Chains A and B, each alone.
Chain A
Amino acid sequence: MSATVLSHPEAVERLTREWETPPGILGALGTVDHKLIGKRYLVTAFVFLVLGGLEAAAMRAQLAGPNRRLLSPELYNQIFTMHGVTMIFLYAAPVLSGFANYLWPLLIGARDMALPRLNALSYWVFLFAGLFIYASVLAGQMPDGGWFSYAPLSERVASPGLGPDFYALGLLFLGISTTAGAVNFVVTFFTLRAPGMSLNRVPILLWGSLSTAVMVIFAMPALTVACVFLYFDRRLGMHFFDAVAGGHPLLWQHLFWMFGHPWVYIVVLPAMGIVSDILPVFCRRPLVGYTYVVMATIATAILGFGVWVHHMFSTGLPSVAMSFFSAASMVIAIPSGVTVLAWVATIWFGRVVSSTAFLFMAGFVVLFVMGGVSGVMTAAVPFDWQLTDSYFVVAHLHYVLVGINVFPVIGASYFWAPKMTGRMLSERLGRWNFWVMFVGFNLGFFPMHIAGLLGMPRRIYTYPAGLGWDTVNLVTTIGAYLFAVGVLLFVINLVWSLRRGAQASPNPWDSPTLEWSVSSPPPPYNFAVIPVVRSRHPLWEDRLHPDDPARTDLSAGSPLDEGRLTLQTSALDAEPAEVLPMPGDSLWPLALALSLSGCFTGLLVGNPILTGLSATLLVVSVTGWLWPETREQLP
């Protein structure tokens, strides 16, 4: 059957013509291809990971021993702030958006995201917001209040420079990208799943990113409000956080953590989804407890909104409130427990075929549990009074963010790079990569738990000798540098393999999901015909359900080659519903992102003319974007 379309070069040629990004600079700037956008996200996020890593290296050099004066206190405070902002906002979430952008349409049998131009916009805005925040380095006025930038330290009296303005405006700017991306994921999920891909057949990564997207939609506005208030306080002389004039410093903390705690899950749930999808491939069996894992993902997303106060246990809250939020913070461990046991059972009841990707996933499971149990410790209010704002919390949050984000991301790169680039990464170097990273990570970050239990507060640029903190800090520094070597090995592997790596077959890992049914790298239109899905593991059906006649059909559908078309299906059961004309390449998203950059720059330097002009350009861009180009396109 698959010969029917693929053996007709005219159809393939037409599809290629419709979907290919034209060569040249204008083609590159106007493209809406989710695969290109996804790769751009990944590369950009990785560059930010390296920048954040260099900042970490500078800090660890300073803290390697007591009383070191490599960095001035001002510089150290700016660097640790930029490190946090970079890793949390410019790396951790965007890198997962990169994977999701690249993979979603391929995983669900679609030809692009549902709103391709919005997709282009989210990337441009991410890039420009990142550059905006890093412009503070050039201006010599980096934010220096920590990644949660508590008021009133961030107010004009205590921080007269531009640092907090870069922070507030940069995060507002970036929030537009994150929100646009989230909208796109939700819409894509509910409109473009291939026929037959009902909710119980969706790969877990989609559930992870979908939960994340829904969380962004409801959590991101809290950060927006907080940053708007901060900007108004600083630049217009308002009083939201000013205790003297009726404001309150804790308002910032409430708003920030109403956003911030959901954000923690936002940067881990898609990564957990990645693990749930990759691990079974190397265990040669489906994930144990698919439904449980999906439910756990959704439960985490919901509960994630009810635990923000556990970041504020030392602010002098009533003990009833603390008991409630302590309980909520412990309850949220249960869905994590479900997911961990699903992974462990998958390993136990499968037969493991080791590979670099598997090592990263298995290593991740251990790190996840370590980050989880230290999280439960911080949920126990009286012990948290000791742990909060100490190095124990630094250890915990790195086990969570590096363990649950970076390890799956590197593992996922080994897994999906063949699909994205057409080349296999070196497995031998990959194993070195894993072990150096794993040992370096634990050597670097485990001692931080001990430093915290020895009474070392976080965010100090130096410490005196004789407090018993010297050795743990030296070990941490050594481990951190070893970890950096591990990341470097990954970069080397990537660069080497892109040139010399073995050619990748369409399905090198014998994986069960749709992205492996197309060539590596996939053609511009992804699928020559939209597949019709009949199970959760389309490519394993012969072996998994030999007796069940239902078979996913990868070739009998329509090529939909008379224009830039894809198939819309119903939201829940994915019944075919409409042939959907998709918007083509456009420069409007770039124009919109540029006018936003103008707006925020105007707000930063306090130039109303620049802001006003850019805002006008913004309205023009939106109108131009949405204005139908031809009568046929009228919705």
Chain B
Amino acid sequence: MTLPGLQLASPGPLRPASEMATREAQLGWALIAIGVIVVLIITALVLTGTFRHRGEAAEQIRREGEGIRWITIGGIVLPAIVLLAAFGLTLKVLRSQQLPSRSSDVTIEIVGHRWWWELRYQGANSQQHAVTANEIHIPVGRPVRVALKSGDVIHSFWVPELGGKTDLIPGQENVIWLQADRAGVYRGQCAEFCGAQHAQMALMVVAEAPDDFARWFALQQEGAPAPTGAALRGRDAFVGGPCALCHEIRGTEAGGRQGPDLTHLAGRKTIAAGLLPNDRGKLTAWILDPQTIKPGSLMPRMRLNDQDVAAMVEYLETLQ
């Protein structure tokens, strides 16, 4: 499946897009190089040693005594030097991952849920507050403080191009700094097994120019736009039906907290934690039958009539 308008190549750790991920990748390349050399040397020795004395009489047994120096030098001294170097590099990179010198005014609290990401934004003053899901917007080039928490089981936050993993653990708050040095969309995915739909718990980091980010953040703080026409019926169906028990749409009576906040759903690129592109058809299918699309999802299949669903989709599409 490809997401329209998105260029997603392999989101690997070796294509870093942040300072932190770059240093991790450099460390990785150094270790990979060491590893390849070690494997090649040992393989060459095993092969050469195997064929070196072929054909000599097998009855004879060689005496002990040879080769001890191989162990002391090749097995102790050389590995010790290489490992010391590797550990030095490790410490250097570890040290450099400390607090950044400057940071963005915005902080994000990410709460892991089975199987989606709740995002709580906090601006410089306490009024600036917004809640969204699965799609993290950050200003490019600025480190953003991110607090990681869990609402149920352990999850792990991993956007490979921006840095390594940090777990979201119930009863504990882990703080990381998220930064992208290039504008773009970075795919991430839960990396700690968290149950049935662990595989479908993706997220996206959208790194955009600071002005664009500010506009986005301002919009997120507002309540949902008031519907008109067909969307009006959709809102009533949503608010009066089962959806509102789990979902919040700020500015309406829908105030559930079990599922993602939908106040600005239409502005997101995907639904169901990165599983489907956010278009009318997919949204309709998802509302009608989430259990076929994402079996085990905590969103149940509801008894809804087709007209109500169509109206709801009409309404949800207006939530820019």
Contact = CB atoms under 8 A, between A and B. Distances in A.
Interface stretch (B80-88, B128-136, B224-232, B253-261): B80-88
A376 B31 contact: yes
B40 to A, nearest CB: 10
A249 B171 contact: yes
B14 to A, nearest CB: 5
Contacts of A330: 83, 86-87
B174 interface: yes
Contacts of B247: none
A337 B78 CA distance: 9
A210 B24 CA distance: 39
B192 A150 contact: yes
A283 B58 CA distance: 9
Name the residue among B45, B190, B194 with the largest chain A CB count within 10 angstroms.
B45
A280 B120 CA distance: 63
Nearest to A286: B64
A386 B164 contact: yes
Interface string B180-200: 000000010111111111111
A244 interface: yes
Contacts of A284: 58, 60-62
Interface string A370-394: 1001101101111111111110000
B34 interface: yes
Contact of A382 (B23, B63, B114, B197): B23
A454 interface: yes
Interface in B30-65: 31-32, 34-35, 38-39, 42-43, 45-46, 48-54, 56, 58-64
A315 B152 CA distance: 16
B124 interface: no
A346 B171 CA distance: 53
A453 interface: yes
B74 interface: yes
A156 interface: no
Interface string B3-19: 00000111111100000
A461 B64 contact: no
Contact of A390 (B49, B191, B198): B191
B116 interface: no
A373 to B, nearest CB: 3
A248 interface: yes
B71 A341 contact: yes
Of B23, B66, B114, B187, most A-chain CB atoms within 10 Å: B66
B166 A463 contact: no
Nearest to A352: B50
B13 A453 contact: yes
Interface centre among A157, A344, A468 (most CB of B within 10 A): A344
A510 to B, nearest CB: 7
Interface stretch (B90-98, B210-218, B278-286): B90-98
A387 B87 CA distance: 17
Interface string A434-466: 000000000000000000011101111111111
B172 A316 contact: yes
Interface stretch (A318-326, A404-412, A418-426): A318-326
Contact of B66 (A66, A349, A377): A349
A466 B39 contact: no
Interface in A3-30: none
Contacts of A510: 58-59
B79 interface: yes
A331 interface: yes
B81 to A, nearest CB: 11
Contacts, number: 320
A122 to B, nearest CB: 32
Contact of B49 (A243, A352, A383): A352
A352 B53 contact: yes
Interface residues of A, number: 101
Contact of B191 (A67, A157, A381, A457): A457
Contacts of A341: 70-71, 74-75
Given A243-B172, A457-B191, A469 B67 contact: no
Contacts of B35: 370, 373-374, 376-377
A327 B195 CA distance: 33
B93 A285 contact: no
A333 interface: yes
Given A67-B1, A345-B67, A463-B199, A338 B31 contact: no
Contact of B63 (A292, A379, A462, A544): A544
Contact of B192 (A283, A289, A366, A389): A389
Contacts of B51: 352
Contact of B70 (A344, A459, A543): A344
B67 A346 contact: yes
A365 B27 contact: no
A607 B50 CA distance: 61
A152 B71 contact: no
16 contacts: A250-B169, A285-B64, A288-B70, A322-B94, A352-B54, A366-B43, A379-B90, A380-B90, A381-B94, A382-B23, A382-B94, A389-B156, A453-B13, A462-B200, A467-B9, A512-B61
Interface of B: 1-2, 8-14, 21, 23-25, 27-28, 31-32, 34-35, 38-39, 42-43, 45-46, 48-54, 56, 58-64, 66-68, 70-71, 74-76, 78-80, 83, 86-87, 89-91, 93-95, 97-98, 114, 148, 152-154, 156, 158, 160-161, 163-167, 169-172, 174-175, 187, 189-200, 295-296
Given A74-B196, A353-B58, A457-B190, 19 more contacts: A157-B152, A243-B169, A248-B172, A284-B60, A288-B66, A292-B71, A314-B156, A340-B42, A341-B71, A348-B52, A348-B67, A351-B54, A369-B43, A382-B90, A383-B90, A386-B160, A453-B28, A459-B199, A543-B59
